Structure 1
Amino acid sequence: MELFLVALAMTVLYRIARALFRLAAGRRERESREKLLKDAETGRPGTAEPARWFGSMETPAVNGYSVPGGLVYVGEKLLDYSGFNDPCLLNPSLRAVSGFSPSVPLPEQRLHYGKMTPEQRGAYLSWLAGGRNDPDAALPYVFLFFYGLERRLMVDAQRGAVSPEERADIVLEILRLLQIYGEHRAFRGHAANLLAMEWVLWGIPDDRPGYIDFTDRYCAEPFAAVLARYAALDRPIPAETALQWLILHPEQGLKTP
Protein backbone atom coordinates (compact mmCIF):
# COMPACT_ATOMS: atom_id res chain seq x y z
CA MET A 1 0.00 0.00 0.00
CA GLU A 2 2.80 2.39 0.87
CA LEU A 3 4.54 1.65 -2.42
CA PHE A 4 1.30 2.38 -4.26
CA LEU A 5 0.92 5.74 -2.50
CA VAL A 6 4.55 6.64 -3.26
CA ALA A 7 4.10 5.73 -6.93
CA LEU A 8 0.87 7.70 -7.08
CA ALA A 9 2.52 10.73 -5.52
CA MET A 10 5.43 10.54 -7.95
CA THR A 11 3.03 10.27 -10.88
CA VAL A 12 1.09 13.30 -9.72
CA LEU A 13 4.28 15.30 -9.19
CA TYR A 14 5.55 14.27 -12.63
CA ARG A 15 2.33 15.40 -14.30
CA ILE A 16 2.38 18.68 -12.41
CA ALA A 17 6.01 19.30 -13.41
CA ARG A 18 5.26 18.46 -17.05
CA ALA A 19 2.28 20.82 -17.04
CA LEU A 20 4.38 23.62 -15.56
CA PHE A 21 7.08 22.96 -18.13
CA ARG A 22 4.55 23.19 -20.96
CA LEU A 23 3.16 26.44 -19.55
CA ALA A 24 6.64 27.92 -19.33
CA ALA A 25 7.49 26.76 -22.85
CA GLY A 26 4.26 28.22 -24.18
CA ARG A 27 4.92 31.52 -22.44
CA ARG A 28 8.44 31.67 -23.89
CA GLU A 29 7.09 30.94 -27.35
CA ARG A 30 4.43 33.66 -27.04
CA GLU A 31 7.00 36.13 -25.75
CA SER A 32 9.30 35.20 -28.62
CA ARG A 33 6.53 35.77 -31.18
CA GLU A 34 5.58 39.06 -29.53
CA LYS A 35 9.23 40.15 -29.51
CA LEU A 36 9.63 39.31 -33.19
CA LEU A 37 6.50 41.31 -33.99
CA LYS A 38 7.63 44.22 -31.84
CA ASP A 39 11.11 44.11 -33.33
CA ALA A 40 9.68 44.13 -36.85
CA GLU A 41 7.44 47.08 -36.09
CA THR A 42 10.21 49.10 -34.48
CA GLY A 43 12.78 48.19 -37.09
CA ARG A 44 15.01 46.00 -34.87
CA PRO A 45 15.81 43.04 -37.15
CA GLY A 46 16.92 40.44 -34.61
CA THR A 47 18.04 37.22 -36.31
CA ALA A 48 16.08 37.73 -39.54
CA GLU A 49 17.54 36.85 -42.93
CA PRO A 50 19.30 39.73 -44.76
CA ALA A 51 17.24 41.66 -47.29
CA ARG A 52 17.83 41.51 -51.03
CA TRP A 53 18.15 44.32 -53.55
CA PHE A 54 16.01 43.99 -56.68
CA GLY A 55 17.33 45.56 -59.88
CA SER A 56 15.44 47.48 -62.55
CA MET A 57 14.74 44.33 -64.60
CA GLU A 58 13.08 42.50 -61.69
CA THR A 59 9.54 42.61 -60.29
CA PRO A 60 9.47 41.70 -56.60
CA ALA A 61 6.20 40.90 -54.83
CA VAL A 62 5.41 42.32 -51.40
CA ASN A 63 2.18 41.56 -49.55
CA GLY A 64 0.32 40.88 -52.78
CA TYR A 65 1.69 43.94 -54.61
CA SER A 66 4.00 43.58 -57.62
CA VAL A 67 6.70 46.26 -57.92
CA PRO A 68 7.66 46.63 -61.60
CA GLY A 69 11.08 48.08 -62.24
CA GLY A 70 12.45 46.93 -58.89
CA LEU A 71 15.08 49.26 -57.41
CA VAL A 72 13.96 48.36 -53.89
CA TYR A 73 15.19 46.34 -50.93
CA VAL A 74 12.88 43.52 -49.82
CA GLY A 75 13.34 41.39 -46.71
CA GLU A 76 13.38 41.51 -42.94
CA LYS A 77 16.90 42.75 -42.17
CA LEU A 78 18.74 45.76 -43.60
CA LEU A 79 20.74 47.56 -40.94
CA ASP A 80 21.35 51.28 -40.97
CA TYR A 81 24.05 53.12 -39.00
CA SER A 82 22.04 52.83 -35.78
CA GLY A 83 21.62 49.06 -35.87
CA PHE A 84 17.94 49.22 -36.78
CA ASN A 85 16.33 48.46 -40.10
CA ASP A 86 16.78 51.06 -42.81
CA PRO A 87 13.61 53.13 -43.38
CA CYS A 88 13.47 52.12 -47.06
CA LEU A 89 13.27 48.35 -46.42
CA LEU A 90 10.06 46.69 -47.68
CA ASN A 91 9.43 44.15 -44.92
CA PRO A 92 6.93 41.48 -46.07
CA SER A 93 6.31 40.39 -42.46
CA LEU A 94 4.53 43.68 -41.74
CA ARG A 95 0.85 44.13 -42.55
CA ALA A 96 -0.20 46.28 -45.49
CA VAL A 97 -3.87 47.17 -45.99
CA SER A 98 -5.21 48.15 -49.40
CA GLY A 99 -7.69 50.92 -50.12
CA PHE A 100 -5.72 53.90 -48.81
CA SER A 101 -4.80 56.34 -51.59
CA PRO A 102 -1.14 57.43 -51.91
CA SER A 103 -2.39 60.93 -52.71
CA VAL A 104 -3.78 61.44 -49.20
CA PRO A 105 -1.56 64.13 -47.62
CA LEU A 106 0.94 63.02 -44.99
CA PRO A 107 2.89 65.04 -42.43
CA GLU A 108 6.07 66.42 -43.98
CA GLN A 109 8.36 64.08 -42.09
CA ARG A 110 10.88 61.34 -42.75
CA LEU A 111 8.93 58.12 -43.21
CA HIS A 112 10.04 54.70 -42.00
CA TYR A 113 8.39 51.67 -43.60
CA GLY A 114 8.53 49.71 -40.35
CA LYS A 115 6.79 52.48 -38.41
CA MET A 116 4.06 53.32 -40.91
CA THR A 117 0.48 52.22 -40.35
CA PRO A 118 -0.76 49.21 -42.35
CA GLU A 119 -2.91 51.62 -44.38
CA GLN A 120 0.10 53.80 -45.20
CA ARG A 121 2.12 50.74 -46.20
CA GLY A 122 -0.68 49.70 -48.53
CA ALA A 123 -0.78 53.16 -50.08
CA TYR A 124 2.99 53.18 -50.55
CA LEU A 125 3.01 49.72 -52.11
CA SER A 126 0.18 50.72 -54.44
CA TRP A 127 2.25 53.73 -55.57
CA LEU A 128 5.21 51.44 -56.24
CA ALA A 129 2.98 48.93 -58.03
CA GLY A 130 1.60 51.72 -60.21
CA GLY A 131 5.03 52.51 -61.61
CA ARG A 132 5.95 55.36 -59.24
CA ASN A 133 4.43 57.91 -61.60
CA ASP A 134 1.36 59.25 -59.78
CA PRO A 135 1.95 63.04 -59.79
CA ASP A 136 -0.47 63.46 -56.89
CA ALA A 137 1.32 61.01 -54.58
CA ALA A 138 2.29 62.38 -51.18
CA LEU A 139 5.92 63.50 -51.29
CA PRO A 140 7.03 61.46 -48.23
CA TYR A 141 6.34 58.29 -50.25
CA VAL A 142 8.61 59.57 -53.02
CA PHE A 143 11.34 60.30 -50.50
CA LEU A 144 10.97 56.84 -48.93
CA PHE A 145 11.68 55.23 -52.30
CA PHE A 146 14.50 57.71 -52.92
CA TYR A 147 16.18 56.64 -49.65
CA GLY A 148 16.66 53.19 -51.17
CA LEU A 149 18.36 54.61 -54.26
CA GLU A 150 20.54 56.74 -52.02
CA ARG A 151 21.58 53.77 -49.91
CA ARG A 152 22.37 51.68 -52.99
CA LEU A 153 24.70 54.36 -54.35
CA MET A 154 26.25 55.61 -51.14
CA VAL A 155 26.56 52.31 -49.23
CA ASP A 156 26.49 49.29 -51.53
CA ALA A 157 28.34 50.95 -54.41
CA GLN A 158 31.11 52.05 -52.05
CA ARG A 159 31.63 48.35 -51.27
CA GLY A 160 31.93 47.48 -54.95
CA ALA A 161 28.55 45.74 -55.10
CA VAL A 162 27.02 47.94 -57.84
CA SER A 163 27.94 47.74 -61.52
CA PRO A 164 28.26 50.82 -63.77
CA GLU A 165 25.14 49.65 -65.62
CA GLU A 166 23.14 49.56 -62.40
CA ARG A 167 24.38 53.01 -61.39
CA ALA A 168 23.20 54.25 -64.79
CA ASP A 169 19.77 52.70 -64.15
CA ILE A 170 19.54 54.51 -60.81
CA VAL A 171 20.58 57.83 -62.37
CA LEU A 172 17.90 57.43 -65.06
CA GLU A 173 15.30 56.67 -62.38
CA ILE A 174 16.24 59.80 -60.39
CA LEU A 175 15.99 61.92 -63.55
CA ARG A 176 12.60 60.37 -64.29
CA LEU A 177 11.36 61.14 -60.77
CA LEU A 178 12.56 64.73 -61.18
CA GLN A 179 10.33 65.11 -64.23
CA ILE A 180 7.32 64.12 -62.11
CA TYR A 181 8.13 65.53 -58.67
CA GLY A 182 10.82 68.12 -59.40
CA GLU A 183 8.48 71.00 -58.63
CA HIS A 184 8.99 70.20 -54.94
CA ARG A 185 12.06 72.15 -53.85
CA ALA A 186 13.16 69.69 -51.17
CA PHE A 187 13.05 66.68 -53.43
CA ARG A 188 14.68 68.55 -56.30
CA GLY A 189 17.55 69.57 -54.04
CA HIS A 190 18.15 66.09 -52.59
CA ALA A 191 17.96 64.51 -56.04
CA ALA A 192 20.41 67.06 -57.46
CA ASN A 193 22.81 66.36 -54.59
CA LEU A 194 22.75 62.60 -55.16
CA LEU A 195 23.21 62.97 -58.92
CA ALA A 196 26.17 65.28 -58.37
CA MET A 197 27.73 62.95 -55.82
CA GLU A 198 27.35 59.97 -58.16
CA TRP A 199 29.20 61.85 -60.90
CA VAL A 200 31.92 63.08 -58.55
CA LEU A 201 32.59 59.53 -57.33
CA TRP A 202 32.41 57.63 -60.62
CA GLY A 203 32.04 60.07 -63.52
CA ILE A 204 34.61 61.37 -65.99
CA PRO A 205 36.14 64.53 -64.42
CA ASP A 206 36.25 66.60 -67.61
CA ASP A 207 32.89 65.43 -68.96
CA ARG A 208 30.24 66.80 -66.63
CA PRO A 209 26.68 65.75 -67.57
CA GLY A 210 24.16 68.47 -68.30
CA TYR A 211 21.96 67.47 -65.38
CA ILE A 212 24.66 68.38 -62.83
CA ASP A 213 23.93 71.83 -61.42
CA PHE A 214 26.50 73.16 -58.98
CA THR A 215 24.62 76.45 -58.66
CA ASP A 216 22.24 74.58 -56.34
CA ARG A 217 23.28 74.92 -52.70
CA TYR A 218 22.19 71.33 -52.14
CA CYS A 219 25.24 70.41 -54.24
CA ALA A 220 27.77 72.18 -52.03
CA GLU A 221 29.20 68.93 -50.62
CA PRO A 222 29.86 67.17 -53.94
CA PHE A 223 31.24 70.47 -55.27
CA ALA A 224 33.76 70.45 -52.43
CA ALA A 225 34.90 67.07 -53.74
CA VAL A 226 35.46 68.67 -57.15
CA LEU A 227 37.75 71.23 -55.54
CA ALA A 228 39.57 68.46 -53.69
CA ARG A 229 40.16 66.70 -56.99
CA TYR A 230 41.96 69.76 -58.38
CA ALA A 231 44.05 69.98 -55.22
CA ALA A 232 44.94 66.27 -55.35
CA LEU A 233 46.10 66.63 -58.96
CA ASP A 234 47.99 69.84 -58.09
CA ARG A 235 46.08 71.66 -60.82
CA PRO A 236 44.92 75.31 -60.71
CA ILE A 237 41.21 75.84 -60.13
CA PRO A 238 39.54 77.25 -63.28
CA ALA A 239 38.07 80.75 -62.95
CA GLU A 240 34.51 79.52 -63.51
CA THR A 241 34.90 76.87 -60.80
CA ALA A 242 36.45 79.39 -58.41
CA LEU A 243 33.51 81.75 -58.94
CA GLN A 244 31.10 78.91 -58.23
CA TRP A 245 33.05 78.14 -55.06
CA LEU A 246 32.55 81.75 -53.98
CA ILE A 247 28.82 81.65 -54.75
CA LEU A 248 28.29 78.43 -52.77
CA HIS A 249 30.37 79.51 -49.78
CA PRO A 250 28.04 79.78 -46.74
CA GLU A 251 29.61 83.08 -45.63
CA GLN A 252 28.95 84.76 -48.97
CA GLY A 253 25.70 86.52 -49.82
CA LEU A 254 26.08 87.81 -53.35
CA LYS A 255 23.47 90.31 -54.41
CA THR A 256 22.15 91.14 -57.86
CA PRO A 257 23.73 94.43 -59.09
Structure 2
Amino acid sequence: MLKITLLLCCTDASLRKAIYAPPPAGLQILIGKPAVTGRITPEQASLLDKRISCQLVIQVVSAYPNFAGMELLITYLLQFGYLTEQQIAQIKSKAQWKKLPKGASFSEAGKVSEEIGYVTEGVCRICYYNKAGEGLTRYFVYEDRFAADFSSFRDELPASEYIEAVTDCELLVFSKADFNYLDKVVPGWKDIFARITASVLESKMKAAGNMLVQDAQSRYLHFIEYYPGLANRVPQAMLASYLGITPSSLSRIRKSLL
Protein backbone atom coordinates (compact mmCIF):
# COMPACT_ATOMS: atom_id res chain seq x y z
CA MET A 1 0.00 0.00 0.00
CA LEU A 2 1.09 3.57 -0.63
CA LYS A 3 0.69 6.64 1.49
CA ILE A 4 1.11 9.86 -0.47
CA THR A 5 0.90 13.57 0.10
CA LEU A 6 -0.17 15.94 -2.67
CA LEU A 7 -0.05 19.64 -3.30
CA LEU A 8 -2.24 20.40 -6.31
CA CYS A 9 -2.48 23.82 -7.96
CA CYS A 10 -4.87 24.44 -10.83
CA THR A 11 -6.74 27.70 -11.43
CA ASP A 12 -9.29 26.42 -13.95
CA ALA A 13 -12.27 25.13 -11.94
CA SER A 14 -13.80 23.33 -14.92
CA LEU A 15 -10.51 21.58 -15.60
CA ARG A 16 -10.27 20.54 -11.97
CA LYS A 17 -13.77 19.12 -12.15
CA ALA A 18 -13.03 17.22 -15.33
CA ILE A 19 -9.85 15.71 -13.94
CA TYR A 20 -10.80 15.00 -10.36
CA ALA A 21 -14.51 14.20 -10.42
CA PRO A 22 -14.87 11.67 -9.03
CA PRO A 23 -11.46 11.14 -7.40
CA PRO A 24 -10.03 7.62 -7.18
CA ALA A 25 -11.72 5.52 -4.53
CA GLY A 26 -10.24 6.09 -1.10
CA LEU A 27 -8.43 9.25 -2.14
CA GLN A 28 -9.15 12.71 -0.73
CA ILE A 29 -8.08 15.71 -2.84
CA LEU A 30 -8.15 19.32 -1.69
CA ILE A 31 -7.38 21.60 -4.62
CA GLY A 32 -4.80 24.25 -3.76
CA LYS A 33 -4.18 22.84 -0.31
CA PRO A 34 -1.98 20.03 0.95
CA ALA A 35 -4.02 16.87 1.36
CA VAL A 36 -2.83 13.77 3.15
CA THR A 37 -4.61 10.76 1.73
CA GLY A 38 -5.56 7.52 3.31
CA ARG A 39 -3.72 4.43 2.18
CA ILE A 40 -4.28 3.53 -1.45
CA THR A 41 -3.24 0.64 -3.65
CA PRO A 42 -0.64 0.85 -6.43
CA GLU A 43 -3.51 0.52 -8.92
CA GLN A 44 -5.17 3.61 -7.46
CA ALA A 45 -1.85 5.44 -7.55
CA SER A 46 -1.56 4.55 -11.23
CA LEU A 47 -5.03 5.97 -11.84
CA LEU A 48 -4.04 9.15 -10.02
CA ASP A 49 -0.88 9.30 -12.12
CA LYS A 50 -2.97 9.40 -15.32
CA ARG A 51 -5.30 12.07 -13.97
CA ILE A 52 -2.54 14.56 -13.26
CA SER A 53 -0.97 14.44 -16.70
CA CYS A 54 -1.75 18.14 -17.21
CA GLN A 55 0.69 20.80 -16.00
CA LEU A 56 -0.05 20.91 -12.28
CA VAL A 57 2.35 21.60 -9.45
CA ILE A 58 2.64 18.35 -7.55
CA GLN A 59 4.54 17.28 -4.49
CA VAL A 60 4.60 13.56 -3.83
CA VAL A 61 6.35 12.06 -0.81
CA SER A 62 6.59 8.91 1.28
CA ALA A 63 6.42 5.63 -0.67
CA TYR A 64 5.69 7.41 -3.97
CA PRO A 65 8.43 10.06 -3.67
CA ASN A 66 9.73 10.51 -7.20
CA PHE A 67 6.56 11.33 -9.10
CA ALA A 68 7.97 14.49 -10.71
CA GLY A 69 11.16 12.60 -11.61
CA MET A 70 9.08 9.92 -13.32
CA GLU A 71 7.42 12.52 -15.54
CA LEU A 72 10.83 14.01 -16.39
CA LEU A 73 12.10 10.54 -17.31
CA ILE A 74 9.21 9.98 -19.72
CA THR A 75 9.68 13.44 -21.26
CA TYR A 76 13.38 12.66 -21.74
CA LEU A 77 12.69 9.29 -23.40
CA LEU A 78 10.13 10.85 -25.74
CA GLN A 79 12.91 13.01 -27.19
CA PHE A 80 14.40 9.83 -28.65
CA GLY A 81 11.36 7.86 -29.77
CA TYR A 82 7.59 7.48 -29.78
CA LEU A 83 5.81 5.82 -26.87
CA THR A 84 2.13 5.03 -26.43
CA GLU A 85 0.31 5.58 -23.15
CA GLN A 86 0.31 1.83 -22.53
CA GLN A 87 4.05 1.62 -23.15
CA ILE A 88 4.65 4.58 -20.83
CA ALA A 89 2.69 2.78 -18.12
CA GLN A 90 4.88 -0.30 -18.60
CA ILE A 91 8.03 1.80 -18.29
CA LYS A 92 6.79 3.51 -15.13
CA SER A 93 5.96 0.14 -13.59
CA LYS A 94 9.58 -1.00 -13.98
CA ALA A 95 11.45 2.17 -12.98
CA GLN A 96 12.58 1.81 -9.37
CA TRP A 97 13.42 4.75 -7.11
CA LYS A 98 16.91 4.62 -5.60
CA LYS A 99 18.83 6.88 -3.24
CA LEU A 100 22.59 7.06 -3.70
CA PRO A 101 24.39 8.78 -0.81
CA LYS A 102 27.32 11.09 -1.41
CA GLY A 103 30.48 9.10 -2.10
CA ALA A 104 28.68 5.86 -2.97
CA SER A 105 29.33 4.01 -6.23
CA PHE A 106 26.55 3.35 -8.71
CA SER A 107 28.85 1.33 -10.97
CA GLU A 108 32.39 0.05 -10.35
CA ALA A 109 35.30 -0.55 -12.70
CA GLY A 110 35.99 -4.25 -13.20
CA LYS A 111 32.39 -5.25 -12.51
CA VAL A 112 29.51 -5.72 -14.91
CA SER A 113 26.94 -2.91 -14.64
CA GLU A 114 23.68 -4.49 -13.52
CA GLU A 115 21.51 -1.37 -13.78
CA ILE A 116 21.18 2.00 -15.44
CA GLY A 117 19.86 5.06 -13.65
CA TYR A 118 18.19 8.31 -14.67
CA VAL A 119 19.29 11.09 -12.31
CA THR A 120 16.37 13.06 -10.89
CA GLU A 121 18.36 14.87 -8.21
CA GLY A 122 22.06 15.33 -7.52
CA VAL A 123 25.37 15.04 -9.34
CA CYS A 124 27.44 11.96 -10.20
CA ARG A 125 30.81 11.72 -11.84
CA ILE A 126 32.40 9.25 -14.25
CA CYS A 127 35.94 8.63 -13.05
CA TYR A 128 38.88 6.26 -12.81
CA TYR A 129 41.76 5.88 -10.37
CA ASN A 130 45.45 6.01 -11.22
CA LYS A 131 48.14 3.88 -9.62
CA ALA A 132 48.56 6.43 -6.85
CA GLY A 133 44.90 6.03 -5.96
CA GLU A 134 43.93 9.49 -7.20
CA GLY A 135 40.44 9.80 -8.65
CA LEU A 136 40.45 11.45 -12.09
CA THR A 137 37.13 12.87 -13.24
CA ARG A 138 36.14 12.36 -16.87
CA TYR A 139 32.56 13.66 -16.87
CA PHE A 140 29.80 14.86 -14.60
CA VAL A 141 26.24 13.56 -14.81
CA TYR A 142 23.43 15.57 -13.25
CA GLU A 143 19.65 15.91 -13.40
CA ASP A 144 17.76 14.81 -16.53
CA ARG A 145 20.54 12.50 -17.72
CA PHE A 146 21.36 8.82 -17.46
CA ALA A 147 24.19 7.67 -15.22
CA ALA A 148 25.22 4.45 -16.91
CA ASP A 149 28.00 2.49 -18.48
CA PHE A 150 25.87 1.48 -21.47
CA SER A 151 28.51 -0.81 -22.98
CA SER A 152 28.96 -2.77 -19.77
CA PHE A 153 25.21 -2.93 -19.17
CA ARG A 154 24.34 -3.93 -22.74
CA ASP A 155 27.17 -6.35 -23.50
CA GLU A 156 27.65 -7.69 -19.94
CA LEU A 157 31.33 -6.71 -19.93
CA PRO A 158 33.31 -5.36 -16.96
CA ALA A 159 33.01 -1.58 -16.67
CA SER A 160 36.18 0.43 -17.32
CA GLU A 161 35.22 3.36 -15.08
CA TYR A 162 33.42 4.20 -11.84
CA ILE A 163 30.17 6.10 -11.49
CA GLU A 164 30.17 7.83 -8.10
CA ALA A 165 27.77 10.16 -6.32
CA VAL A 166 29.35 13.60 -5.88
CA THR A 167 26.30 14.73 -3.88
CA ASP A 168 23.39 12.83 -2.38
CA CYS A 169 21.51 11.57 -5.43
CA GLU A 170 18.12 10.19 -6.36
CA LEU A 171 17.69 8.05 -9.45
CA LEU A 172 15.07 6.07 -11.30
CA VAL A 173 16.73 2.74 -12.02
CA PHE A 174 16.16 -0.11 -14.46
CA SER A 175 17.65 -3.50 -13.65
CA LYS A 176 18.93 -5.71 -16.44
CA ALA A 177 15.91 -8.01 -16.10
CA ASP A 178 13.43 -5.12 -16.23
CA PHE A 179 15.26 -3.50 -19.16
CA ASN A 180 15.05 -6.76 -21.12
CA TYR A 181 11.37 -7.13 -20.22
CA LEU A 182 10.67 -3.64 -21.58
CA ASP A 183 12.54 -4.56 -24.76
CA LYS A 184 9.94 -7.29 -25.29
CA VAL A 185 6.83 -5.19 -24.62
CA VAL A 186 7.94 -1.76 -25.91
CA PRO A 187 8.78 -1.81 -29.64
CA GLY A 188 11.86 0.26 -30.32
CA TRP A 189 12.96 0.29 -26.66
CA LYS A 190 16.57 -0.56 -27.50
CA ASP A 191 16.47 1.87 -30.42
CA ILE A 192 15.61 4.67 -27.98
CA PHE A 193 18.68 3.84 -25.92
CA ALA A 194 20.84 3.51 -29.02
CA ARG A 195 19.89 7.11 -29.86
CA ILE A 196 20.54 8.21 -26.27
CA THR A 197 23.96 6.53 -26.37
CA ALA A 198 24.79 8.21 -29.68
CA SER A 199 23.73 11.61 -28.31
CA VAL A 200 25.85 11.16 -25.17
CA LEU A 201 28.84 10.05 -27.23
CA GLU A 202 28.52 13.09 -29.51
CA SER A 203 28.43 15.40 -26.48
CA LYS A 204 31.51 13.73 -25.01
CA MET A 205 33.42 14.07 -28.28
CA LYS A 206 32.56 17.77 -28.53
CA ALA A 207 33.66 18.32 -24.94
CA ALA A 208 36.92 16.45 -25.53
CA GLY A 209 37.57 18.45 -28.71
CA ASN A 210 37.10 21.73 -26.87
CA MET A 211 39.46 20.64 -24.12
CA LEU A 212 42.23 19.96 -26.64
CA VAL A 213 42.21 23.42 -28.22
CA GLN A 214 41.43 25.63 -25.22
CA ASP A 215 43.72 26.96 -22.53
CA ALA A 216 42.86 26.42 -18.85
CA GLN A 217 40.87 29.62 -18.40
CA SER A 218 38.91 29.06 -21.61
CA ARG A 219 38.02 25.54 -20.46
CA TYR A 220 36.69 26.89 -17.19
CA LEU A 221 34.71 29.65 -18.88
CA HIS A 222 33.27 27.13 -21.33
CA PHE A 223 32.30 24.87 -18.44
CA ILE A 224 30.44 27.53 -16.47
CA GLU A 225 28.70 28.74 -19.64
CA TYR A 226 27.43 25.35 -20.77
CA TYR A 227 26.84 23.87 -17.31
CA PRO A 228 25.48 26.85 -15.32
CA GLY A 229 25.60 26.34 -11.57
CA LEU A 230 27.36 22.99 -11.76
CA ALA A 231 30.78 24.40 -10.81
CA ASN A 232 29.36 25.37 -7.41
CA ARG A 233 27.92 21.91 -6.78
CA VAL A 234 31.09 19.85 -7.15
CA PRO A 235 34.35 19.92 -5.12
CA GLN A 236 37.07 22.12 -6.58
CA ALA A 237 39.49 19.18 -6.81
CA MET A 238 37.02 17.19 -8.96
CA LEU A 239 36.34 20.14 -11.23
CA ALA A 240 40.07 20.79 -11.61
CA SER A 241 40.59 17.13 -12.48
CA TYR A 242 37.90 17.33 -15.17
CA LEU A 243 39.47 20.49 -16.61
CA GLY A 244 42.91 18.89 -16.61
CA ILE A 245 44.49 21.40 -14.25
CA THR A 246 45.56 21.51 -10.60
CA PRO A 247 43.21 22.78 -7.87
CA SER A 248 45.59 25.69 -7.21
CA SER A 249 45.47 26.70 -10.89
CA LEU A 250 41.68 26.59 -10.80
CA SER A 251 41.67 28.74 -7.68
CA ARG A 252 43.88 31.33 -9.41
CA ILE A 253 41.60 31.37 -12.46
CA ARG A 254 38.54 31.91 -10.30
CA LYS A 255 40.20 34.75 -8.39
CA SER A 256 41.29 36.43 -11.62
CA LEU A 257 37.70 36.45 -12.86
CA LEU A 258 36.29 38.13 -9.77
Same-fold call, TM > 0.5? no
* Structure index of larger Rg: 1
Between structures 1 and 2, the one with greater strand share: 2
Between structures 1 and 2, the one with greater helix share: 1
- Considering Cα pairs closer than 8 Å and 6+ residues apart, tell me whether 1 or 2 has the greater RCO: 2
